[in-house]
Amino acid sequence: MAGSRDIEVVVFDVLGTLVDESGGLRAEIRDAVPASGTVPVDGLVALWQRHLQVEQQRIARGDRPYVGTEVLDREAAQRVADRAGLADPAAVARLATAGQRLPPWSDSVAGLERLARRFPVVALSNAGRTALLRLSAHAGLRWHLALSGETVRAYKPAPEVYRLAIDAAGCPPERVLMVAAHAWDLRGAQAAGMRTAYVQRPGGDPPVDSDAFDRRFGGLGELVTELTAE
């Protein structure tokens, strides 16, 4: 991968890359669902994530007008509540904001802190602006700018979302590095001309043989060490 002299700005996916989305949802659902519930928590997490995936794809195809993740999360929370027999409106409302309280991966806080001393760091997410604000405060994540697909009313991997980061960076796309744990996300960034780095995370979307990303890392610390090495 290009060294620090060839990269001017580092852009991070957030959900699944910097924070444990599945683990955080699992903990929030476990807290919300009565202990006597008969539906496995992992099944409820899968139900939530499947709803978001299907609805974002419908929006991308034009089968549904754009709505932000705040709406989709409310819908997902209600689906989980219906499946689990959760009838308390306050508990369902709190569950709908679970995406604002996701825990960081063990290397995310320190890795971002180190990198932010050397590079402008941008968060680029499908999560809404409010969710990103509250998530960064909850998880202790440091970035210099947070960009949401909500701004262009689209979800990654739509090209206009990556253009947000490129325009904000103010430099050629080949000098902007996109970091993600999802190969589908990196393919979208690559198509927009950005450099790409895959970071392995549990539950991520690993590259396939045909993917030609600039680098692949086992953790965020490896990437930070390489980028900041002289």
- Asked if residues 54 and 10 have their Cβ atoms less than 8 Å apart, the reply is no
- Asked if residues 168 and 145 have their Cβ atoms less than 8 Å apart, the reply is yes
pLDDT at 172: 97
pLDDT at 37: 54
Contacts of 54 (CB under 8 A, 6+ apart): none
Percent of the chain with pLDDT over 70: 96
* 35 pLDDT higher than 80: no
Mean pLDDT over residues 22-32, rounded?
A: 94
Lowest mean pLDDT among 9-23, 27-41, 42-56, 79-93: 27-41
pLDDT at 33: 86
pLDDT at 38: 64
Residue pLDDT, tens place only, 86-141 = 999 999 999 999 999 999 999 999 999 999 999 999 999 999 999 999 999 999 99
pLDDT at 34: 73
Residue pLDDT, tens place only, 165-178 = 999 999 999 999 99
pLDDT at 171: 96
pLDDT band at 36 (very low <50, low <70, confident <90, very high): very low
* 7 pLDDT higher than 80: yes
- All structural domains of the chain: 9-20+102-228 (3.40.50.1000), 21-100 (1.10.150)
Contacts of 165 (CB under 8 A, 6+ apart): 9, 11, 122, 124, 147, 176, 178, 194
What is the Cα–Cα distance from 122 to 145, expressed in whole angstroms?
A: 5
Residue pLDDT, tens place only, 183-229 = 999 999 999 999 999 999 998 899 999 999 999 999 999 999 999 98
Residue pLDDT, tens place only, 56-87 = 999 999 999 999 999 999 999 999 999 999 99
- Return the closest-CA partner of residue 182 out of 193, 169, 196: 196
